[in-house]
Amino acid sequence: MFIDGLIESVAEKDNPSVVGLDPKIEYVPQFIRTEFFTKNGFTMEAAAEAIFAYNKLIIDAVADIVPAVKPQSAYYEMYGVHGMEAFRKTADYAKLKGLVVIADCKRNDIGSTAACYSRAYLGETEIGPERRRAFNADALTVTPYLGSDGIEPFVKDCDAYGKGLFVLVKTSNESSGQFQDLVTQSGRKVYEEVARYVNDLSAANRGKHGYGNIGAVVGATYPEEARSLRKIMKNAYFLVPGYGYQGGTGESIKSCFDEKGLGALIAASRSIILAYKSDRYKGRYPEEEFYKASRDAAIDMRDDIKNALKSI
- The smaller minimum CB distance to a second copy, of residues 26 and 259, is found at 26
For a second copy, the closer of residues 15 and 246 by Cβ is 246
User: Per CB under 8 A, does 247 bind a second copy?
Assistant: no
Distances (CA, A) of 110 to 45, 116, 134, 180, 190: 33, 10, 20, 20, 20
Stretch that binds a second copy, among 141-149, 229-237, 260-268, 278-286 (CB under 8 A): 141-149
Q: Does 31 bind a second copy (CB under 8 A)?
A: no
Which residues 199-228 are close enough to bind a second copy by CB under 8 A?
none
Burial 82-121 (b: 16+ CB within 10 A, else e): bbbbbbbbbbebbeeeebbbbbbbbbbbeeeebbebbbbb
- Using CB under 8 A as the binding rule, whether residue 111 contacts a second copy is answered as yes
Q: Of these, 190, 264, 272, 274, which contacts a second copy (CB under 8 A)?
A: 190
Smallest distance, Å, CB 49 to a second copy?
12
Coil, helix or strand for 266? strand
Residue from the set 137, 139, 194, 239 that interacts with a second copy by CB under 8 A: 194
As a whole number of angstroms, the distance between CA 103 and CA 92 comes to 11
Q: Answer yes or no whether residue 113 interacts with a second copy by CB under 8 A.
A: yes
116 binds a second copy (CB under 8 A): yes
Cβ atoms within 10 Å, residue 127: 8
Active site residues: 106
Sequence-distant (≥ 6) Cβ neighbours of residue 189 within 8 angstroms: 180, 181, 182, 183
Q: Which is nearer to a second copy, 31 or 179 (CB)?
A: 179
Determine, following the binding rule CB under 8 A, whether residue 286 of this chain makes contact with a second copy: no
DSSP 3-state assignment of 181? coil
172 binds a second copy (CB under 8 A): yes
> Among 11, 96, 110, 312, which residue interacts with a second copy (rule: CB under 8 A)?
110
> Per this entry, what is the length of the chain?
312
Nearest to 5 by CA among 141, 131, 162: 162
Binders of a second copy in range 44-103 (CB under 8 A): 44, 46-47, 72, 74-75, 77-81, 83-85, 88
In this structure, the number of other CB atoms found within 10 A of the CB of residue 259 comes to 8
